[in-house]
Structure 1
Amino acid sequence: MASFAFKQLDVFSSEPLKGNPLAVVLGADGLSDDQMAAFARWTNLSETTFLLKPTTDEADYRVRIFTTQRELPFAGHPTIGTCHAWLEAGGQPRGDVIVQECGVGLVKLRRDGTRLAFAAPPLIRSGEPDAGIVERIVAGLRIAREDVVGTQWVDNGPGWIAVMLKDRDTVLSLKPDYNELGGLKLGVVAPWTGGDAQFEVRAFIAGEGMAEDPVTGSLNASLAQWLIGSGRAPAQYVASQGTALGRKGRVFIEQVGDDIWVGGASVTCIDGRVTI
């Protein structure tokens, strides 16, 4: 057994307990794959990350991202939270942007005041889902077909399908049938007027150990690519997520040139050491 620096954060919120929690083990180069997976199962959070030395001179650090069930090549709130932990522990970027090495390759991050933002990775699948999948989605969300404004594959690694509904109230009232949705990863979005955000988002991940993710960076990244690219959203907006779970996540989206930046605040809730 060995002792490691450890942080538990709340991501996409500047207020503790209102975002999406993340566990980060720093200096984890000595841990095996099995030890990482076991620790991630033990934390029982949606993701746990392990900070490692980079394998390329282009990167400032490397991260491995684990759910309670598997390793992910990329995820959004672990990217922002791990970068926050690295900077808080004294990490110094080599250039104007921070470069994270992870399973999908190199991901750029930038600092925007008190927030961090990552450049959305390219989609690996887009286009309309087939009619059979849309029927399953409608049945699984327990809604009428006319409630659906649009659907789209927005997969940047986890397998997201986006579903746009007509209004925020419909999104917040959803009580899905997870058996019907088994195997699907859904991002549900609707416009919101009159609040401090322009869209309300929910992420349903049936079969991944937790039914709904509080605030989801990878989903908001791919949603932004679809919404902005199709003219459904402006080049800069704020998404609200986690409302139905008693959270207050805020995701800041901005298109700059060809890049879509996905940003948010992080706050450290636990800072200490862990024995693995």
Structure 2
Amino acid sequence: MSRRFAQVDVFASEPISGNPVAVVVDADGITDEQMAAFARWTNLSETTFVLPATDPAADYRLRIWTPGGELPFAGHPTLGSASAWLQAGGTAAGEHIVQECGIGLVRIRRDGARLAFAAPPLTRTGPVEDATRAEVIAAIGLHGEQVLDAEWVVNGPQWMALRLDSAQRVLDVRPDFAALGDREVGLVGAYPDGPDTPAFEVRAFAPGVGVNEDPVTGSLNAGLAVWLRRAGLAPDSYVAAQGSALRRAGRIHVLDDGADIWIGGLSATVIAGTVEL
């Protein structure tokens, strides 16, 4: 069956510099087995399928797959799929686009030329246990004094976040993916203040779901923003960079408006057409 399809570059700062997501816009009737097989075939960090909503408060339902399995939520697929849905003629029923997915309802708004989603609540927080922290630090080739904090920032994906002593330290990490195993690990380090410098450098590793390193990661940046804002470690508005180690130039725009933390970025359709599924 022929279905509308888009491949969208998300969180890009220039053409083809962000994280691509494959979006099947007309996904009604596709089986789980077909979704999993197509996600393995695209071999992107995520492939999504847009379906009719089952919750009357939602505009559409989204299923999100990596090459290794299904996710309850992911950030760059949320923005890229919303962009593809809008381009296909979707219209929000209310003030915000409302996406139904595995973690529930996610609100998405226009932020100038960007789309932004409201960071979902964290379902697990607090310091990472000492033994786990030590194992992960060893797996990414660092010493304990180079890691300032290690926190759980779980919002669907099971992110463990390590705050390093500098942005350059984040860029220098060369992880042992076999040693990381099925852990989902995010790194964040601050840049020195500068007028044209991002506030933070971020990296994300998830070998257990088939993504050794993700170019730009909305869910991780959302979890980091919630943690860093609560801890007083980030301003209410900032830009994070991600993807530098993979020769990408992703930019994530974070805004805490006092009610919600919004995670935004540019989305641009690079490939549009149909797919036979």
The TM-score bracket by the shorter chain reads over 0.9
Superposition map of 1:1-276 within 5 A: 2-193=1-192, 194=194, 195-276=196-277
- Distance in 2 (alpha carbons) for counterparts of 1:260 and 1:166: 24
Distance in 1 (alpha carbons) for counterparts of 2:63 and 2:210? 19
Shift >6 Å, 4+ stretches = none
What amino acid does structure 2 have at the position aligned with 1:261? W
Could you tell me whether the CA contact under 8 Å between 1:25 and 1:49 is conserved in 2? yes
C-alpha contact (below 8 Å) 2:160/2:184 kept by paired residues: yes
Give the Å deviation of 1:35: 1.1
- Does the 8 A contact of 1:14 with 1:267 survive in 2? no
CA distance in 1, matches of 2:67, 2:176: 22
Alpha-carbon offset, residue 3 of structure 1: 0.5
Aligned-residue offset at 1:47: 0.5
Write the distance in 2 (CA, Å) between the matches of 1:14 and 1:139: 33
CA distance in 1, matches of 2:141, 2:269: 37
CA deviation profile, 1:219-263 (whole Å, cap 9, x unmatched): 000000000100000111110000010000000111112311100
Gaps of 5+ in 1: none
Q: Cα offset for 1:213?
A: 0.3
Give the drift of 1:56.
2.2
On the 8 A contact 1:52/1:62 being kept in 2, the answer is: yes
TM-score, reference length from structure 2: 0.97
* Equivalent position SS for 1:161: strand
Q: Partners of 1:50 and 1:183 in 2: how far apart? A: 25
Amino acid in the other structure paired with 1:257: G
Measured in 2, the distance between the counterparts of 1:216 and 1:271 equals: 23
* Deviation at residue 37 of structure 1 after TM alignment: 1.1
> 1:15 and 1:89 mapped to 2: Cα distance?
23
Q: 1:150-201 CA deviation, whole Å, 9 max, x = no partner?
A: 1101111110011001111111011111122112111100111234310000
- CA–CA distance in 2 between the matches of 1:230 and 1:138? 22
Letter in 1 for 2:261: I
Distance across 2 between alignment mates of 1:235 and 1:216: 19
Question: Following the alignment from structure 2 to structure 1, what is the Cα–Cα distance between the partners of residues 122 and 93?
Answer: 28
SS at match of 2:211: coil
Secondary structure class of the residue paired with 2:29: coil
> What's the % identity of the aligned pairs?
55
Contact 1:14/1:266 (8 A) holds in 2: no
| Kept after mapping to 2: 8 A contact 1:123/1:222 | yes
Q: Distance in 2 between matches of 1:144 and 1:31?
A: 47
Task: State the 1:143 CA deviation.
Answer: 1.0
Contact 2:68 2:208 in 1 (8 A): no
Aligned residue identity for 1:136: E
Structural RMSD (CA)? 1.0
- Rounded Cα–Cα distance in structure 1 between residues aligned with 2:211 and 2:93: 37
Q: SS state of the match for residue 20, structure 2?
A: strand
Tell me how many residue pairs correspond in the alignment. 275
